[in-house]
Amino acid sequence: GAVVSQHPSWVICKSGTSVKIECRSLDFQATTMFWYRQFPKQSLMLMATSNEGSKATYEQGVEKDKFLINHASLTLSTLTVTSAHPEDSSFYICSASKLAGGWYEQYFGPGTRLTVT
Amino acid sequence: KQEVTQIPAALSVPEGENLVLNCSFTDSAIYNLQWFRQDPGKGLTSLLLIQSSQREQTSGRLNASLDKSSGRSTLYIAASQPGDSATYLCAVSGDYKLSFGAGTTVTVRA
């Protein structure tokens, strides 16, 4: 199997506070993890790619000082939304990459619903 | 930059009817194409993955075709059931990244 978990599944926080979201690969080691955000009725947009032990690579337009990513081990990546504002409210999904059948396939977590009030 | 488009955005059919979902992409230099299912408020479930060298993949009632040269893929779902109601996302892999379409939301009426 290739199971990816996220914690928490939903979180409500006040504007100005920081929130940490965890992404874990439960039964495999993932050298690369990805973070996406999804607005209602819109597609998943890649925010950043993280490799274990190195700095994350952010997509154009994503503020790296606002969305801090740490990939401390082969099974855990965290996304911290700093000084959250209502416009950061979204559905955040992570994925972990595993070699399968000769290519790298991404396995997705269940997502985290963030609401900033 | 890869652009992925899915048409239609929404589809409503009676139970038993076959579903045809379309996906188009602008850059044909892809490694593979993948179809996902997403239920409301949930993560993604992978349905089918087609390698760039393949023309189609089948799993049960699902069949996906890929025409890389024209930048198109089609997902067929035979004999639809109410449990098939969900949003279906198409994603293409170039390099190590996935580019997603906005999805087709399917409602199957009992």
**Has residue A53 got a pLDDT over 90?**
no
**Has residue A117 got a pLDDT over 90?**
yes
**Would you tell me which residues 42-71 of chain A have a C-beta closer than 8 angstroms to some C-beta of chain B?**
42-46, 49
Q: How far apart are CA B50 and CA B35, in angstroms?
A: 9
Terminal Cα distance for chain A, rounded: 38
The answer to whether residues A20 and A114 touch, using CB atoms and an 8 Å cutoff, is no
Q: What is the pLDDT of residues B81-102, one digit of tens each?
A: 999 999 999 999 987 789 999 9
Q: How do A90-100 and B32-38 pair as beta strands?
A: unpaired
**Has residue A112 got a pLDDT over 90?**
yes
Q: Tell me the residue type at A64.
A: K
Cβ contact, residue pair A49, B89, below 8 Å: no
Q: Is A16 on the interface with B (CB under 8 A)?
A: no
Per-residue pLDDT, A84: 96
Q: Is A113 on the interface with B (CB under 8 A)?
A: yes
Q: How far apart are CA A116 and CA B88, in angstroms?
A: 28
User: Is-cis flag, bond preceding B8, omega within 30?
Assistant: yes
Q: Which of A31, A35, A38 to mutate to test the interface with B (most CBs of B within 10 A)?
A: A38
Q: Tell me the residue type at B97.
A: K
Chain A residues within an 8 Å CB radius of B36? 108
DSSP string, A20-56: EEEEEESSS--SEEEEEEE-TTS-EEEEEEEETTS--
Any bridge partners for residue B59, and if so which?
Answer: B62
Per-residue pLDDT, B68: 93
- Of the pLDDT bands very low, low, confident and very high (cuts 50, 70, 90), residue A95 is very high
Low-confidence ranges of chain B (pLDDT < 70): none
Per-residue pLDDT, B49: 92
Q: How far apart are CA A93 and CA A45, in angstroms?
A: 10
Q: How far apart are CA B101 and CA B98, in angstroms?
A: 10
**Has residue A102 got a pLDDT over 80?**
no
Q: Is A31 on the interface with B (CB under 8 A)?
A: no
Least confident of A15-19, A31-35, A97-101: A97-101
CA distance A59 to chain B (A): 11
The partner residue sitting opposite A44, judged by closest CB among B32, B51, B100, is B100
Mean pLDDT across A61-74: 92
Taken in order B79, B85, B90, B96, the sign of the CA dihedral is negative
Environment class of B51 (CB within 10 Å of its CB; exposed 0-12, middle 13-18, buried 19+): middle
Report in angstroms the alpha-carbon separations of A29 from A19, A93, A115.
25, 18, 30
Environment class of A90 (CB within 10 Å of its CB; exposed 0-12, middle 13-18, buried 19+): buried
